[in-house]
Amino acid sequence: MSAGVVLAAAADPGVGNPVLNISIFGAFVAVTLIVVLRASRNNKTAADYYAAGRSFTGPQNGTAIAGDYLSAASFLGICGAIAINGYDGFLYSIGFLVAWLVALLLVAELMRNTGKFTMADVLSFRLKQGPVRLAAATTTLAVCFFYLLAQMAGAGGLVSLLLGINDRVGQSVVIAVVGILMIIYVLVGGMKGTTWVQIIKAVLLIAGAGIMTVWVLAIHGFNLSTLLGAAAELGGEGVLSPGLQYGLTDLSRLDFISLALALVLGTAGLPHVLMRFYTVPTAKEARRSVVWAIWLIGLFYLFTLVLGYGAGALVGADTIRAAPGGVNSAAPLLAFELGGPVLLSIISAVAFATILAVVAGLTITAAASFSHDVYASVIKKGKPSPGMEVKVARITVVVIGILAIIGGIGVQGQNIAFLVALAFAVAASANLPTIIYSLFWKRFNTRGALWSMYGGLGSAIFLIAFSPVVSGSETAMIQGADFSWFPLNNPGIVSIPLGFILGWLGSISQRTLENPVIAAEMEVRSLTGHGAEKATDH
């Protein structure tokens, strides 16, 4: 079937067979619900609910980490970016992979050795518990919520292409279904159930991308040069050279540097990724998780190079732009071109499963942050009633799920890019400076942590609010509300250094040092893992 047939099919009823798409997705939901119900049998304590009883092996956890990191936005968005912009699109793959290496090699194992359940455990280890945990919970909830909005809205945006639902009401129903399933997964299964969903989803996503990659290479004689030549013949020589998207002006180059800075550094501060390391029993298994995750994620991003250029060569940039979903339709259209409705249905189901798994991971992280850091540690002073912490976590899951559904419906039709940018910018500006200082700088203190987290959070939100993606968006201009004065789409180049500077200023402006004994204990534990299995609050 040609891309022309794909586009014609997409114009009205949706690409492929919506019934087949829903059936395959329904089968995935049924299987994973059974897995979640079986996993929920041992959810009795906070360690069971938040960290799956630390029962997963390195390979299992590494696969789950890959599942958490490889979102539908990565799969669909990067393939589309490469298909449309060639080399400049592949820079996203490079950036995400480098970001993962930074997260794993710089902070992941050290945080796992130091903490208990959440990022705030690490940040408050040698600082004042109450204010630092509140600040860390605030930034964690901000990152998770805006990431959730992007995923939920992305689910609504994809249905027009994958299921043939083009009206706003239909898309809102899909968002609600995704939200309800997410609530069930996390409410019943906790971290153990969520982790198994991530493992299943990661296997499906990488296998599906691998099959399509081999198929595309087979069409071009397993010769990458032939594939690149075919893409250049249809899309122009510019797809093989830098500058098609980001080399037009000095401002666009600066914007790319800012975005790259946020992506590379923001990943190391994403709480839902870092929380995965608390699900393994030992530091050795955490290191094995790192190895497995790097291999799986690196392999996937190599697949995106072939899939992106394959879509550019076999489908064409013009067809992709004109299809429902725009640039995000590249991978589904390529699947239709290769294997017709059946392969498209499988890739469609995997895409929705990916969204479902990622929002479940985000939700368990947000719930753990509120119940463990705010309720148990601040409100109850570290002495909650037996079982109440998990009960509060489950209530939080329902509240977050409802808010995510409402928010996802509310941002339908809006520019979703700023939501993802906000999540990464907040993580890089607020979380990462505090994490780095806490792990590596003995002079760091509570004031520095609060200045860094609140200052990074506030500056990132403030600059994005006055950036072209929000204040200068098409919707804002139509409504006569264009008040953008910050020229860049991503504030990373400003807000990230500001977060580090505020952390430094706050620390040196306060002469009082934190307890040196606890600081020394944190250093030993982070580097060796000694005592990590019996982490306690100080």
pLDDT at 1: 39
pLDDT at 419: 67
Q: Residue 274, Cα to own-chain centre: how many angstroms?
A: 11
How confident is the model over 33-46, as a mean pLDDT?
74
pLDDT at 100: 80
pLDDT at 176: 85
What are φ and ψ of residue 511, in 5° steps?
-75, -25
The domains found in the chain, sorted by start residue, are 3-534 (1.20.1730.10)
If we measure between CA atoms, which residue out of 333, 343, 347 comes closest to residue 3?
333
How confident is the model over 321-336, as a mean pLDDT?
81
Residue, of 537 and 523, whose pLDDT is higher:
523
Q: Residue 524 pLDDT more than 80?
A: no
pLDDT at 11: 37
Q: How confident is the model at residue 245 (pLDDT cuts 50, 70, 90)?
A: low
How confident is the model over 229-233, as a mean pLDDT?
86
Q: Are 410 and 168 in contact (CB under 8 A)?
A: no
pLDDT at 4: 41
Beta strands in 249-339 (DSSP E): none
Helices H / strands E in the chain, number of each? 24, 0
What DSSP string describes 366-421? HHHIIIIIIIIIIISTT-PPTTHHHHHHHHHHHHHHHHHHHHHHHTTTS--HHHHH
What DSSP string describes 436-449? HHHHH-TT--HHHH
Instruction: Determine what percent of the chain is predicted with pLDDT higher than 90.
Output: 15
Residue, of 325 and 533, whose pLDDT is higher:
325
If we measure between CA atoms, which residue out of 324, 321, 343, 325 comes closest to residue 334?
343
Whether this model's pTM surpasses 0.85:
no
Q: How confident is the model at residue 46 (pLDDT cuts 50, 70, 90)?
A: low
Whole-angstrom Cα distance, residue 289 to residue 276? 9
Whole-angstrom Cα distance, residue 417 to residue 486? 16
pLDDT at 537: 42
Whole-angstrom Cα distance, residue 202 to residue 66? 6
Residue, of 536 and 169, whose pLDDT is higher:
169
Least confident of 33-47, 152-166, 168-182, 196-210: 152-166
Residue, of 535 and 279, whose pLDDT is higher:
279
Least confident of 32-36, 101-105, 409-413: 409-413
How confident is the model over 297-316, as a mean pLDDT?
91
If we measure between CA atoms, which residue out of 41, 36, 115, 50 comes closest to residue 394?
50
pLDDT at 536: 41
Q: Residue 267 pLDDT more than 90?
A: no
Q: How confident is the model at residue 8 (pLDDT cuts 50, 70, 90)?
A: very low
Whole-angstrom Cα distance, residue 264 to residue 182? 28
How high does pLDDT run on average in the chain? 80
What residues have CB less than 8 Å from 331, skipping those under 6 apart?
A: 75, 76, 79, 80, 212, 307, 311, 347, 351
Q: Are 151 and 355 in contact (CB under 8 A)?
A: yes
Structure tokens at 148: 């959730």
How confident is the model over 425-436, as a mean pLDDT?
90
Task: Compute the C-alpha angle 120/430/274, nearest 5°.
Answer: 45
What DSSP string describes 14-40? -SS-HHHHHHHHHHHHHHHHHHHHHHG
Q: Residue 433 pLDDT more than 50?
A: yes
pLDDT at 12: 41
H-type helices in 109-223, by residue range? 109-114, 119-123, 129-162, 168-219
pLDDT at 248: 64
Q: How confident is the model at residue 532 (pLDDT cuts 50, 70, 90)?
A: low
pLDDT at 190: 77
Q: Residue 417 pLDDT more than 80?
A: no
Q: Are 104 and 61 in contact (CB under 8 A)?
A: no
pLDDT at 300: 93
pLDDT at 416: 57
Crossing angle for the helix pair 87-102 and 78-85, to the nearest 10 degrees = 140
Rounded alpha-carbon distances, angstroms, from residue 124 to 17, 127, 247 = 52, 5, 43
pLDDT at 3: 40
Whole-angstrom Cα distance, residue 436 to residue 423? 19
- For CA atoms 417, 495, 453, 102, give the dihedral sign: positive
pLDDT at 299: 93
Cβ neighbours around 406 below 10 Å, total: 16
pLDDT at 13: 39
Whole-angstrom Cα distance, residue 273 to residue 501? 25
Instruction: Determine what percent of the chain is predicted with pLDDT higher than 70.
Output: 83
Q: Are 492 and 258 in contact (CB under 8 A)?
A: yes
What are φ and ψ of residue 315, in 5° steps?
-105, -50
Q: Residue 118 pLDDT more than 70?
A: yes
Q: Residue 84 pLDDT more than 80?
A: yes
Q: How confident is the model at residue 48 (pLDDT cuts 50, 70, 90)?
A: low
Whole-angstrom Cα distance, residue 290 to residue 284? 10
Q: pLDDT tens-digit profile of 442-488? A: 888 899 999 999 999 999 989 888 887 776 555 444 455 556 788 88
Q: Residue 320 pLDDT more than 60?
A: yes
Residue labelled with tokens 């600082």? 127
pLDDT at 219: 93
Whole-angstrom Cα distance, residue 434 to residue 439? 9
Rounded alpha-carbon distances, angstroms, from residue 267 to 215, 271, 466, 476, 522 = 31, 9, 24, 30, 23
Whole-angstrom Cα distance, residue 207 to residue 2? 24
How confident is the model over 343-364, as a mean pLDDT?
81
Q: Residue 209 pLDDT more than 80?
A: yes
How confident is the model over 27-54, as a mean pLDDT?
73
Whole-angstrom Cα distance, residue 388 to residue 38? 23
Residue, of 316 and 280, whose pLDDT is higher:
316
